[in-house]
Structure 1
């Protein structure tokens, strides 16, 4: 089937390529290290009819069924090469009425433009909900910095460039959350801490509550940057990452720059006032210490 025909024939036209006719199509966006994969696992566990196909980290501008970095069926990771060669062979395990979950990292719905569609020729009319995942700044930046540290192929300057580019995109994403719109937003910090909030998010997506636990730690990107041995997501101290990184020189440099970005700090103030307060103290005192941060 020609990818151009997906939307022209509706969801039934996806059957030949997917191996099933999806009952629900979600397109998820979020900065990496924002808990995207934990949330993707949870969405699969709560999929309609109990079946889901997850296409992870799709390439911008290409049809997602042709351009995914990895894939899962029913929360089980597939061998990527085999899934790319014959997606329908694995998608058939989902069953008609199941979930198709497409994800993008470091992109957002605002980057989906008529002349440069985020998902290529995949028809936006097939997407039931856009999902926007976000996380508090201090812990997100700490996790990203920690993730890049072991990469010996990156100089310190290159690592800083990657992080600051991420900070700029993060500010844009927070702007979309604040503006509202049609996307269902999921704050990872609240998602981890509050089962009631998780249930509300499922309801907003039209999903029945089947499994409201946090699940297993996913191993994408090497799993947790801080707790490599953790198996259960509930074991992760995701709300204290910034404390663990506060003496890291690269992280300190990121905070010094971020604290002087007025647009970023204003958006953080709206969504994460405690983080904004710490950034404000860093900017005023031009130093980072236990007293300033804690």
Structure 2
């Protein structure tokens, strides 16, 4: 969604349902939980005070708000995006790598734009570790359940690599090995030729076995 638009109004234009009409006019229904995403937008943009002042107008008042930042390692994130030829981001004047770096700095607390009970999620660890997922649920004041861990949602067509082929067995997807498909791809290697990105990846995700070959290919002697 665009940071400065009334999402309910946009939804109503495309899906003229009565409940969306009411929400677009500010007649908000009570909700146990409301999640909205600003994927691919810059953190400075989505935390602009002009947007924050319209929060209650567009979304209604919240009893408790969380800012959730989910970060995946750059190797696999980039591979998934290239698979769909989806390298451009929505944030103006930023490349994909610049946006990833901005998220990484916010993740590590080097910047602090997200003010509403910020919860940072290491996607790689979340995928592998049930205890970590339980910890994140606790931080979000949610009752933990792994009930949907094997679902592949239809929105966006599912996985960049398998679509919805693994729906019902999503934990079997090789989401941490996507980089291997592009290990010889010149465009992929060129985009990864960024020392700052590699440094922040190590700080957040540690060493990802096998990816050292990408460092060599990105910087041949």
Using structure 2 for the length normalisation, give the TM-score: 0.74
Find out whether 1:171 has 2:108 as its counterpart.
no
Contact 1:174 1:267 in 2 (8 A): yes
Report what 1:192 is aligned to. 127
What does the per-residue CA deviation read over 1:152-184, in whole Å, with 9 as the maximum and x for residues that have no partner?
xxxxxxx6x669811110100000000075411
What does the per-residue CA deviation read over 1:211-264, in whole Å, with 9 as the maximum and x for residues that have no partner?
4541311233322111232223212110100012112232122123x2x4x3x3
CA–CA separation in structure 1 for the residues paired with 2:89 and 2:31: 40
Q: Which has the higher helix share?
A: 1
User: SS where residue 100 of structure 1 aligns?
Assistant: coil
What does the per-residue CA deviation read over 1:167-202, in whole Å, with 9 as the maximum and x for residues that have no partner?
110100000000075411112111111111111111
Report what 1:269 is aligned to. 202
Find out whether 1:130 has 2:101 as its counterpart.
no
Using structure 1 for the length normalisation, give the TM-score: 0.58
Find out whether 1:203 has 2:203 as its counterpart.
no
CA–CA separation in structure 1 for the residues paired with 2:19 and 2:30: 18
CA–CA separation in structure 2 for the residues paired with 1:102 and 1:273: 30
Report what 2:2 is aligned to. 59
CA–CA separation in structure 1 for the residues paired with 2:173 and 2:218: 32
CA–CA separation in structure 2 for the residues paired with 1:252 and 1:226: 19
How far the C-alpha of 1:99 sits from its partner, in A, is: 1.0
CA–CA separation in structure 2 for the residues paired with 1:190 and 1:83: 40
Find out whether 1:231 has 2:164 as its counterpart.
no
**1:64-83 matched pairs, under 5 angstroms:** 64-67=7-10, 81-82=14-15
Judging changes above 3 Å, is the alpha-carbon distance between structure 1 residues 82 and 272 closer, same or farther for their aligned structure 2 residues?
same
CA–CA separation in structure 1 for the residues paired with 2:13 and 2:156: 15
Report what 2:34 is aligned to. 100
**1:31-42 matched pairs, under 5 angstroms:** none
Contact 1:136 1:275 in 2 (8 A): no
RMSD, matched Cα: 3.5
How far the C-alpha of 1:89 sits from its partner, in A, is: 8.0
Judging changes above 3 Å, is the alpha-carbon distance between structure 1 residues 103 and 255 closer, same or farther for their aligned structure 2 residues?
same
CA–CA separation in structure 2 for the residues paired with 1:141 and 1:174: 14
Q: Which has the higher strand share?
A: 1
CA–CA separation in structure 2 for the residues paired with 1:225 and 1:172: 24
Query: Structure 2: which 5+ runs fail to align?
Result: 24-28
CA–CA separation in structure 2 for the residues paired with 1:102 and 1:162: 18
